Amino acid sequence: MAAGSHSMDETKRIGRQSVGVAEEFIPSTFAERGVAVPFTTPLLAQARLRLDRNEQFEFLLPNFTGGKGVYVMPWKTVPSMMTVTLHDRLLFDAISKLEVHSPESIRHASLEVQASGVAGPDAALAAAKALDRDGQYLVLTQFILVTELLKLVGMGAADLLRPGMNVDESRRMARQALGKVAQIVKVQPEMLSAVVERLGAVVAPVGLPYCPEPGRLRALATRLDEFCAELDRWANLDLSDASDLARFVAEVGRHTLELVKMRMVQMDKVCADAKQIIHGEQRFRTAILAHVGRISWLLDGWDFILAMWESVRDAPGEAQQSMVADISRLVPVIPKEEIAMSTESFDMDALARIQRRWVRVNEDWRTGALDMPAVMRMESLKAGAA
């Protein structure tokens, strides 16, 4: 891809050379699909980031300027094509410093930038709360792992929290009990806490099956299930062309959930025996990482879509129709490697024709000026999706 800025004609040429809208639009792998990045510049909203053949960043922009196809654009071209918000410049800088570009690492970088306040006070507060929830859930996950291990020596969480016991007594009992557990699972006592910390950090995004509260991704899967059912109900009542788009989004969402649930069942089986997890930490940690990673990739981008729909849930029908069109352009298409053999094919060409009837222009291309109300909507959605 040529360096430097491009004219609009050149940008369209780049788009025509990129992935198409029909069958060829479906990427082969998650790496090819890229990671959804929650930018606040309207035309960059949920653009997908990936590395090109030269290990340079490039962005995939669906239906850019209303044209057919997915436009591929290097970051250095973006500022010459549109006015980019300060938030997005800072977020790209943070992303460029990451060693791994996964949905989890991008999400954490985004929350850190958002918490700084550059996307507004509401978004900053939401990000700070999200980071705090992540930290608290990690502690809870590690605690649950410890309580599962204590069962091996006939103890439970209640034994450490008996009335009249102070914190020091509880800790002393826990250390003694874990010492006995270490003997059973044949792990050095001083290594056991480190093992619990490592495993807790790996599994926390999804959460343990026996945890009293679901992990973030497990909860997101439940919300996606409810969203698909709600969108189907809405499509049955709506008389516009947007109803077909809503059914398409719900169909992709349901198949995504099938794959997510399959991964969760496999992961939950791995986590079912705490003793075996500790005894074969490296092997089980590798297996859990693979399942959590796949679940994270499958659900990547859906949290923002849910926030988009929730923002118009009580709005007039016309606003909902327009939002459904916007959502359909951002729906995370499942890569070919993840699509089950039984999946029914989607009529992507027909859906693309409907989408083009709902295209909205977010920016005046003669001036490159930002549509500030649209920026504010993106910032509001970031607060809702955090």
Span 239-258, pLDDT tens digits: 888 898 899 899 889 889 98
Residues 375, 45: Cα–Cα separation, whole Å: 9
Percentage of the residues of the chain whose pLDDT score is greater than 70: 72
Q: Which amino acid makes up residue 342?
A: S
Rounded distance, CA 117 to CA 97, Å? Answer: 20
Q: How far apart are CA 117 and CA 114, in angstroms?
A: 6
φ/ψ of residue 146, rounded to 5: -65, -45
Q: Packing angle between helix 372-385 and helix 121-150, nearest 10 degrees?
A: 20
326 has a pLDDT exceeding 80: yes
Predicted TM-score of the model (pTM)? 0.79
Please give the average per-residue pLDDT across 295-312, as a whole number: 93
Average pLDDT over residues 74-83: 84
Tell me: pLDDT of 160 over 80: no
Type of residue numbered 110: S
Lowest-pLDDT range, 131-135, 186-190, 325-329, 362-366?
A: 362-366
Higher model confidence: residue 16 or residue 340? 340
Least confident of 115-124, 183-192, 320-329: 183-192
pLDDT in tens, 81-134: 888 999 999 999 999 999 999 999 999 999 999 999 998 898 899 999 999 999
237 — pLDDT class (breaks 50, 70, 90): very high
Backbone torsions φ then ψ of 70, nearest 5 degrees: -110, 120
* pLDDT digit string, tens, across residues 188-199: 777 777 888 888
pLDDT attached to residue 157: 56
Q: Is the pLDDT of residue 221 over 60?
A: yes
Percent of the chain surpassing pLDDT 90? 32
| Two tokens, residue 71 | 């436009």
Is the pLDDT higher at 87 or at 176?
87
- DSSP lists the bridge partners of residue 45 as 38
Q: Looking at residues 55-80, what average pLDDT do you find?
A: 76
Q: Measured between alpha carbons, how far is 149 from 211 in angstroms, rounded to an integer?
A: 14
Q: Please tell me which of 1-15, 95-109, 130-144 the model is most confident about, judged by mean pLDDT.
A: 95-109
10 Å CB burial of residue 97 (0-12, 13-18, 19+) is exposed
Question: How does residue 159 score in pLDDT terms, banded at 50, 70 and 90?
Answer: low
376: Cα within 13 Å, side-chain hemisphere:
3
Contact, 101 vs 35, CB < 8 A? yes
